[in-house]
Each structure stands twice: as C-alpha cells, then as structure tokens.
Chain A
Amino acid sequence: MTARRRGGDRLVATYVVTGGRSSPTRNTLDQITLISLSSSAPYLSRSDLNEEQNKILGHLARGAQSVIELGAFLHLPLAVIRVLLCDLIESGHIAASGRRITDGPAEGPDRNTLEAVLAGLHRL
C-alpha cells in the first residue's frame, strides 16, 4: 500500500504512513539513536518516499537528530517514526549511529562513559 494524504483520523493516518506495519522489520531504534543523512542521500531518488519521509529528510538537512526529536517534529508516535526511519535506512537515505536496541539485555553504563558524563555535568 502506498501512502495517501493524511486525513483527520490519527489512527488511520498512522496506519497508512507505515504501509500497515506496526513494527519495523529491522533492529529497533532507541529514542536517542542519532539519525543523519547518508552520504549518498543527495543522489538517491525520493519519488518513492511518502510525505513524512520527505519531511524527515528535509529536517535532517539541518543536522543530525535523535529518533525522539524527529518523532516530535513530525507529530508521530515512536512506533511509527521507527518504522519510517527503518525504511529510510534500508533505502540508503539515512544512517543511524549510536545506541540501538538489540534483542539482548542492555549493557550497563561503563566507567569511562559515567566519568565523561560526570565531568560534563560539572562544567554546566
């Protein structure tokens, strides 16, 4: 199913923009995973992308953004933005870096990270 114009009914719109899927097929993205345009993005066709995906790419032209910020920008719940982003990763338009949720348990924070956070907080 291709994306249609979003109507007033939020639930319908949500269903439509993701092509009917409610969960991404690939690794789930964490809220704080950073998303940026891929180096090949300028050369890839955007004709197959829906309105929301084009908005995402437009927003990323200003700089990288976290998943949660993109979701807020597009007024879409996390579950939906994750599906849209996974599709854009697959099509090669965007790249994700940093934390990703995998099936395994989350690793606890390591000493280096905590010490860097501590030093950063002290500087605020």
Chain B
Amino acid sequence: MQDYIDSDSDPGPVLRGNERTVKILIVGHMGAGKTTAVQAVSEIRPIKTEEVMTTAGSGIDRADLPHKTTTTVAMDFGRVNLNEELVLYLFGAPGQTRFFDILEDLAHGALGALVLCDPRHLAETYPILDLVEELGLTYVIAVNEFDGADRYTEERLREVMELAPSIPLVFCDARSRLSTRDALIALVQHLLTKLPEPVR
C-alpha cells in the first residue's frame, strides 16, 4: 500500500464548508525543520502527501538522461482553525528548484512564506530565497535554533545571507508551538506593512 496518510490520522475539528481558507508555505532545505514546524502548529495530525511529478526531458538532449522522469515530492500539511470563519493551512514544501511546478501551484493565492533555515547550513538557504522570490511570495526568514548549534547574531546572519534590510529575520524553535506561531505572526505583520496605505 502507499504510505500517504496515517489511517488513524486525527481529522481535527469538523468544517462546515463555508469557512474562509488561507494558506502559508513553510519552505526550507532538507532537515531545516519544516515538518516539525507544521506539526507544532497544526490542530490535525499533519498529513504527509506525495505528489508524483512527471518532468519531460527538455533542453539539450543528453543520452545519459531519460526523456521523461517521475519524481516523488513529499509535502506536509497541517490545519488550524483561527476562528469560526477562518482556517489556516500550512504547507511544508521542499525548496528544490526541480519542484518548481508544484511550488508554483502551492504558492498561488498563498499569503506568504516562512523560510525556515538551519544556521549550520546557511548556504543551503540561498537557492531557496531565489526560488521564493521567483514565486513572488513575500517572506520572512525564520532561523531554527537547533540544540547545540552555534548561535549567530542577527547581524552576522544577515551579512552571510546578504539579506536586504527590508526582509525580516526572526529566531524560532520549530518544536515549540508558540515559537513557530510567533514566526508566523512576524510574517503576517510583515505582509501588513507591504500593503498600500489605506485610502482616507
């Protein structure tokens, strides 16, 4: 059998069907803590899905590559009811460029993205920042503070990642519900600052 879902997966609060739904992407390199972060906030047991992607061979013909390959991409998603009328979906999505199509589909209509990174592997976050920008998503960097990892100052991290001052950087512990929630709050606050001033 396919291992998509736990059969005893907690279905969470029952939805009526007329709630408003919004989504936020949590992207990051492998091991950055995406699954943990989704799990920390979700009210349903996070569900792992696998999307099968067919990539048609394109560009230069290479004899060593098949013309068509199928890749499986694992995604986690969770859900949390923010109030009676509003449901937030969180998607933990892989940050590799080869999954661009799936990410583009996910990014469509998303509020924004939390870019989770492991300070021990900062270089792995660079391509993800390019990707998120290409997707047109507003984002906040959340540095997942792993136990035993060296702590860097915000200044140092910004310098290493060459972050524009306008992009917020927060620290979080992806295992903690409140800490991950605070990172999401930083994202939503940043999104609010990017809105045009209300017309008076």
Contact = CB atoms under 8 A, between A and B. Distances in A.
Nearest to A111: B195
Contact of A68 (B49, B188, B189, B198): B49
B31 interface: no
B83 A114 contact: no
Contact of A120 (B50, B79, B88, B105): B88
Interface string B160-200: 00000000000000000110010011001101100100100
A98 B192 contact: no
B153 interface: no
Interface residues of A, number: 45
B123 interface: no
B111 A106 contact: no
Interface of B: 2, 4-5, 11, 14-23, 41, 47-52, 77, 79-80, 82-83, 85-89, 91, 105-106, 108-109, 111-112, 177-178, 181, 184-185, 188-189, 191-192, 195, 198
Given A62-B11, A63-B14, 13 more contacts: A32-B89, A36-B16, A66-B89, A68-B77, A75-B4, A101-B108, A108-B195, A113-B22, A114-B111, A114-B191, A115-B192, A118-B192, A124-B181
